[in-house]
């Protein structure tokens, strides 16, 4: 199963964005990108001070996404900067390999411009052509309305919830919502 070929799209701001697979030379810019996203996101499940990844660890993480049929790392790039990322991995046990989950992020200044949808659609096209993947799953904070709108728009449905999964402060909790989409 091949990985998606790079493609250039024009987003709502009339700027060109390239969607492509991540490679090891992206390791350093990817670390910078993740730090930027963690600072600018109220829905990130990892806090900035918890993200302490070395260049070597990042390279290994990227390399893992090139192993096997059920892994994919997509980057959105504009003006030579990473502005979005989607990473997908299927489960490794034989009876569970047909299912995988993903994480999606877009830099704050590029949100609501179509980047997330382009990354997600690229994943779904790849998953539908993939002989292994039958179910794409995700988890999302129940208060993340823009993400929920996007996921529902492309066909994801709610599978369940984990009540009070995240504590945002004293007596402030958010549910974790589980969603899925079958590829066939």
- The stretch 67-84 carries a mean pLDDT of 95
- Determine the pLDDT at residue 47: 65
CATH of domain 7-182: 3.40.630.30
- Determine the pLDDT at residue 43: 65
Q: How far apart are CA 54 and CA 138, in angstroms?
A: 26
- The stretch 144-150 carries a mean pLDDT of 95
Domain spans in the chain, listed from the N-terminal domain onward:
7-182
48 — pLDDT class (breaks 50, 70, 90) = low
Nearest partner of 181 among 128, 141, 145, judged by Cα: 128
52 — pLDDT class (breaks 50, 70, 90) = confident
Q: How far apart are CA 136 and CA 119, in angstroms?
A: 14
């Amino acid at each position: 199963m091949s990985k998606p070929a790079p493609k250039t799209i024009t987003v709502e701001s009339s700027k060109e964005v390239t969607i492509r697979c991540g490679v090891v030379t992206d390791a350093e810019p990817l670390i910078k990108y993740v730090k930027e996203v963690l600072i600018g996101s109220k829905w990130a499940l990892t806090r900035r001070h918890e993200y302490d990844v070395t260049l070597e660890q990042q390279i290994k993480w990227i390399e893992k996404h090139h192993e096997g049929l059920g892994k994919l790392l997509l980057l959105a790039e504009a003006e030579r900067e990473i502005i979005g990322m989607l990473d997908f991995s299927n489960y490794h046990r034989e009876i569970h390999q047909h299912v995988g989950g993903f994480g999606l992020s877009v830099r704050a200044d590029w949100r609501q411009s179509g980047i997330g949808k382009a990354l997600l659609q690229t994943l779904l096209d790849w998953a539908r052509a993939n002989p292994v993947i039958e179910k794409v799953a995700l988890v999302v904070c129940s208060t993340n309305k823009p993400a929920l709108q996007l996921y529902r728009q492309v066909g994801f449905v709610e599978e369940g919830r984990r009540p009070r999964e995240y504590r945002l402060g004293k007596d402030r909790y958010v549910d974790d919502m589980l969603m899925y989409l079958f590829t066939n």
